[in-house]
Amino acid sequence: MNLARHVAARQTKAMQRDKNVFNEAIRSLPYIPRTGWLWALAACGSSALIDVAFWAAGAKISWAWAVPFLALTAGWFAAIYVSAIGILSRQPTYQGYLRFALTSLVLLLPFALALGALFAIGSILTKGGGLAIFFIGAVAAFVLASLLVSWPMAQSLSKGFVSPIRILKATRGQRASLVFLGFTAAAIGRSDLLPKISEAQTVTEAIAIAIGNGLIGLLGIALTASIAVAAWQSARLNDPALNASSA
């Protein structure tokens, strides 16, 4: 039995003992490899640089920032993927990353649709009505993404298509934990421990805020990776065939 299968078997046995995706996610954190942390540092460092550049330019959000934003998103997906696959002691692959990134983008589509609905019909509704529609849509999209957090992981390990319905069915017994973990990760990422970089008055303040946000992002990447792995391990308990489809 090779190392990857040994680690997967150990983690599966741990899940079988307590069947708690929250506990398994916490236990997975120390298994993030050095390469995962390096990718996370690179992603968060790039994010900090873009934040400082955005502040220095005094610019508002526009299409001019689309390219660096997309590049940054790709870097964050890569950091999460390398960290998650490293927890399983498997080697990351370019094909696996593409499947992981594309599936993750699909998970973000409901948020984009909710935001699009706000702009599309917000003008014909009262301000409160438009925001209410956006809020309801965003919460629904967030809950769905939390329940399907293992889908990008499962798809990255499978050469064939993994249905999101199949993943959703495999979350039975862990749905409350998955939503709780989703809210926890989101709360860390959106915490108000630091002021917004737009409030910085000097370059030193802007750099300090950017570095602080980078450190919070580093924790967010680690948590997201460990949650994805723990959720995938849990889904395998309910749907053993997921393991057979792994590449």
**Model pLDDT for residues 73-89, shown as the tens digit of each residue:** 999 999 999 999 999 99
Query: Tell me, what's the pLDDT at 198?
Result: 78
Query: Tell me, what's the pLDDT at 97?
Result: 96
Residue 172 has phi, psi (to 5 degrees) of -55, 135
Query: Tell me, what's the pLDDT at 174?
Result: 86
CA distance 132 to 222: 32
The pLDDT confidence band at residue 191, using thresholds 50, 70 and 90, is low
Query: Tell me, what's the pLDDT at 61?
Result: 63
Query: Tell me, what's the pLDDT at 118?
Result: 61
Beta bridge partners of 246: 158
CA distance 130 to 142: 18
Sign of the dihedral through C-alpha 77, 83, 89, 92? positive
Rg (the chain; Cα; Å): 19
Beta bridge partners of 158: 246
Residue entry with tokens 């709780």: 180
Residue 195 has phi, psi (to 5 degrees) of -70, 165
The pLDDT confidence band at residue 1, using thresholds 50, 70 and 90, is very low
The one-letter code for the residue type at 119 is F
The ranges assigned to domains in the chain are 3-244
Q: 180 and 22 in contact (C-beta within 8 Å)?
A: yes
Mean pLDDT of the chain: 82
pLDDT in tens, 3-41: 555 555 555 555 444 567 888 888 899 999 999 999 999
**pTM here?**
0.83
